[in-house]
A = this chain, B = another copy of it.
Amino acid sequence: MQRYFVPDDQFHENHVWITGEDAKHIMRVMRMNLTDKIVCANNMGEAFLCEIDKIQDQQVAAVIRSQLISDPELPVRVVIAQGMPKGEKFDTIVRKGTECGASAFIPFYAERSVAVWQKDRIEKKRLRLGKIAKEAAEQSHRLFIPEVTEPMNLGQLLAACKSFTYAAVAYEETAKKGELSALPLLLKQMKPGDSLLAVIGPEGGLSHEEALAFQVAGCRLCGLGPRIMRTETAPLYLLSAVSYQFELLNNEVGY
């Protein structure tokens, strides 16, 4: 069933008012009619089964039939701090990372980042990425739209580390040394509700100095297996590993 995130102030008593792009999508792309059903989520952890009961001008109104009980959010909050990649790769990372359960994305200027977001285009970039996150969150039945923050430099990111329960840095050199147990050790220490900052380097990876600075700030250097992954694949590996550990392994009932 088609899902839409609707701002909380558009929920009135037993009705949801859908406006803007989403109303157009319902009317023109999906060509829905009265009594058609949709799911509306409020981006505050709740989703409702709704039935369209008014279509007029540029607005759609739907009556709330029932609350949907589901738990599609990772039990731990994972924020991806992504070394600014080239071209359209950030789009892919936000789209796929949202599907895989990320809570937020922090673009950061790493030493080897080539791309720069021009100051006057940052808001436009964030709007575009926010739209991608909303669509991916709707498609993957998430209850929250991941936020894309303003870009940070190394100093800002190091300072931000402190507000997370744990921080992990994907560092290729760690993997090369065969040290692959750091990530599972960290994940096994985490408890539901904890937060994890996961730092991923840009193309070419993090520099030795950056890795050291993160380590000094209390982050753990983790290898993500023995293969060299592209920068846009690493966050998906990490999020999949978190899901496997918390949603599949910890769910085991035995034989």
Number of interface residues of A (CB under 8 A): 39
Chain B residues near A139: list those with CB within 8 A.
228, 230
A44 within 8 A of B: no
Check if B142 sits within 8 Å of A252, measured CB to CB: no
The distance in angstroms between the C-alpha atoms of A223 and B244, with both chains bound, is 10
A218 within 8 A of B: no
A183 within 8 A of B: yes
Q: What is the total number of copies of this protein in its complex? A: 2
71-98 of chain A: CB within 8 A of chain B = 71-72, 96
213-250 of chain A: CB within 8 A of chain B = 223-230, 233, 236-237, 240-241, 243-245, 247-249
The binding surface of chain A is classed by DSSP as loop
Contact of A141 among B70, B228, B233, B245 (CB under 8 A): B228
The distance in angstroms between the C-alpha atoms of A255 and B185, with both chains bound, is 8
Interface centre among A96, A142, A240 (most CB of B within 10 A): A240
Residue of B nearest to A255 (CB): B185
A77 to chain B, nearest CB (A): 15
Check if A244 sits within 8 Å of B184, measured CB to CB: yes
Check if A247 sits within 8 Å of B230, measured CB to CB: no
Check if A244 sits within 8 Å of B247, measured CB to CB: no
Q: Given A227-B101, A241-B241, A244-B240, answer yes or no on A181-B140 (Cβ-Cβ < 8 Å).
A: no
A14 within 8 A of B: no
Top 7 nearest A-B pairs by Cβ distance?
A240-B240, A241-B244, A181-B252, A237-B240, A180-B251, A225-B243, A140-B227
